[in-house]
Amino acid sequence: MRIDRRDFLGTSAAAAALPSRLRAETGPVFQPEDFGAKGDGATNDARAFAALSAEVNRRGGGTIVLGRGRTYIVGAQHRGGDYGWTPAPVLELKQLSKPLSILGNGAKLRCAPGFRYGAFDADTGGPVHGPTPSRRLTEVATPYRAMIFITGCGARVEVRDIELDGNVERLRIGGQFGDIGWQIPATGLILEENTGPETVANILSHHHAQDGAMIVGAAARADRGHISRLICRTNGRQGLSIVAGRSYDFADCEFSHTGRSVIRSAPGAGVDIEAERRPIRDLNFTRCKFVDNWGCGMVADSGDSAGARFVGCLFVGTTAWPAWPNKPRFSFRGCTFVGAVVHPFASADPALAARFVACRFTDDPKLAPGGKVYVGNGPIANMAISDHVLFDGCSFTLVGKGLLPWSWRAIYRDCKMVQRSPTKGMPKGRYLGRSTISGNVDLYGAMIEGELLINGKRVAHGSQGGPPW
């Protein structure tokens, strides 16, 4: 799934031409030009967008319509306030009681060049660099918190057909701030504590100093969130951060190349599923891509998160693991992993352990940008603990230095494994159905209950050394 500016504009025009039940209930209509915006790619329209936001907030909702294909320059800073250089809002919509639609029509919001981002000396204005990151808010600078920030809304929210360009490569970068890296707001789209249904479609969010998008789902939200063709690339900290919420469906999205621009901050993931405010549950990702991120393609390792399903997705790790699913009830069906998966969740309860069904695992450099594949210390699936982690109908095709999974009590059913490296792989576990292995392996302690062929030779049933389990 590839998207460039031409694809984006074409899709946006097609979407705008379609009848929409959602857009039929528009309420008042607002255009940035009515508030003085030029949309000419040169004039800074920040004040116009702030005025537009204030009017939408006053009216309690409505439809914001951007000029077809226009480029609106945004971003502003003033001394003092919350930070040393405090940003002005761009599109900041709060506590709306009526439906909200933002119809981009293929327009672009681009941060103006030259603004400060990072830590700067409050007196001289110069960058602050030191052995440890700054933690003084009087040194912090950012040109925007979020280009689109929608929070506390009780009715339907719809955002579609917009490009959000953080333009980080043309900002003035200061020192680091926070626990690690640049932990300073500068995100494309934030959905926070909205209790009504949320729809996001055809958003290209890139080159933001922090995240391409962030979701903070409300505890009281009963409707599902539908997010399609959200493309987050080349952002500094995350493609997408999910820090709270439940019942979100992602389709045909991409979260790639995080940390590949002028700054990077940990975790540097494509998607970070990290429950900070409240639990995360019931996420679906269908036909999504997680490619060439500085950190993990997808990481879930902290907070109360559970229940994410990935179908037909592509995970490619070039400098870190393509996936780190260390939370219960994560499942993958028909997915491709290029590079080493690490810490799939293991449990004495099979219902909680990670499940991989009809998935493909490989270290083939032809499938990775620049031919670089991350395999860590070797195993294509690296499991410190592996109880009941299931690989059902999966293939492992290792053509380089990658090794077959390191596991102890994983379950392998109807799997095909090929390893070229002469180093011993250790895919130990319980073998069900019919599986084949080609390569040098150590299966001491494994339990063979189905049919297993290693290099063409049938392996006897039962324990392969040690007590049965």
**Cβ-contact 327, 299 below 8 angstroms:** no
Residue whose tokens read 């000029």: 67
Q: Which of 417, 342, 412 is nearest to 377 (CA)?
A: 342
Residue whose tokens read 């607002």: 30
Do 148 and 222 lie in one domain? The reply is yes
Q: Which residue type is seen at 114?
A: G
Do 120 and 200 lie in one domain? The reply is yes
Distant-in-sequence, close-in-space partners of 123: CB < 8 Å, separation ≥ 6? none
**Cβ-contact 395, 415 below 8 angstroms:** yes
Distance of CA 339 to the CA centre of its chain: 18
Domain limits for position 378: 312-469
- Judged by phi (left if over 0) then psi (alpha if -120 to 50, else beta), residue 181 lies in left
**Cβ-contact 248, 273 below 8 angstroms:** no
Give the integer Cα–Cα distance in Å for 312 and 285: 8
Distance of CA 340 to the CA centre of its chain: 18
What 3-state class would DSSP assign to 355? strand
Residue whose tokens read 């300073």: 184
Q: Record the pTM.
A: 0.93
Out of 249, 273, 308, a domain closes at 308
Examine residue 291 and state whether it is found in any structural domain, yes or no. no
Examine residue 372 and state whether it is found in any structural domain, yes or no. yes
pLDDT computed for residue 309 by the predictor: 98
Number of helical (H) and strand (E) elements in the chain, helices listed first: 3, 42
Number of other CB atoms surrounding residue 300 within 10 Å: 27
Tell me the two tokens of residue 154: 């009780």
**Cβ-contact 182, 210 below 8 angstroms:** yes
Tell me the two tokens of residue 356: 């991989």
Tell me the two tokens of residue 219: 């505890």
Tell me the two tokens of residue 407: 């596991």
What 3-state class would DSSP assign to 380? coil
Number of other CB atoms surrounding residue 137 within 10 Å: 14
Tell me the two tokens of residue 458: 């049938």
Examine residue 289 and state whether it is found in any structural domain, yes or no. no
Rg (CA), the chain: 24
Do 394 and 362 lie in one domain? The reply is yes
Parallel, antiparallel, or unpaired for β 447-448 and 462-463?
antiparallel
Examine residue 51 and state whether it is found in any structural domain, yes or no. yes
Do 319 and 301 lie in one domain? The reply is no
pLDDT computed for residue 361 by the predictor: 98
Examine residue 290 and state whether it is found in any structural domain, yes or no. no
DSSP state of 312: S
Examine residue 187 and state whether it is found in any structural domain, yes or no. yes
Each residue's pLDDT, cut to its tens digit, for the chain (469 residues) gives: 445 555 555 555 554 444 344 444 468 999 999 999 999 999 999 999 999 999 999 999 999 999 999 999 999 999 989 999 999 999 999 999 999 999 999 999 999 999 999 999 999 999 998 776 777 899 999 999 999 999 999 999 999 999 999 999 999 999 999 888 999 999 999 999 999 999 999 999 999 999 999 999 998 888 999 999 999 999 999 999 999 999 999 999 999 999 999 999 999 999 999 999 899 999 999 999 999 999 999 999 999 999 999 999 999 999 999 999 999 999 999 999 999 999 999 999 999 999 999 999 999 999 999 999 999 999 999 997 899 999 999 999 999 999 999 999 999 999 999 999 999 999 999 999 999 999 999 999 999 999 999 999 999 999 998 888 8
Element (H, E) at 12: helix 5-17
Do 264 and 346 lie in one domain? The reply is no
Give the integer Cα–Cα distance in Å for 34 and 30: 7
- Burial label for 465, CB within 10 Å (0-12, 13-18, 19+), is exposed
Distant-in-sequence, close-in-space partners of 262: CB < 8 Å, separation ≥ 6? 168, 169, 173
Parallel, antiparallel, or unpaired for β 29-30 and 71-74?
unpaired
Examine residue 466 and state whether it is found in any structural domain, yes or no. yes
- Judged by phi (left if over 0) then psi (alpha if -120 to 50, else beta), residue 123 lies in alpha
Do 333 and 300 lie in one domain? The reply is no
Do 357 and 406 lie in one domain? The reply is yes
Do 192 and 325 lie in one domain? The reply is no
DSSP3 helix / strand / coil % (the chain, rounded to 5): 10, 45, 45
Do 373 and 243 lie in one domain? The reply is no
Give the integer Cα–Cα distance in Å for 352 and 331: 10
Do 161 and 278 lie in one domain? The reply is yes
Do 45 and 151 lie in one domain? The reply is yes
pLDDT computed for residue 283 by the predictor: 98
**Cβ-contact 368, 375 below 8 angstroms:** no
Number of domains in the chain: 2
Do 269 and 320 lie in one domain? The reply is no
Residue whose tokens read 């981009």: 104
Examine residue 287 and state whether it is found in any structural domain, yes or no. no
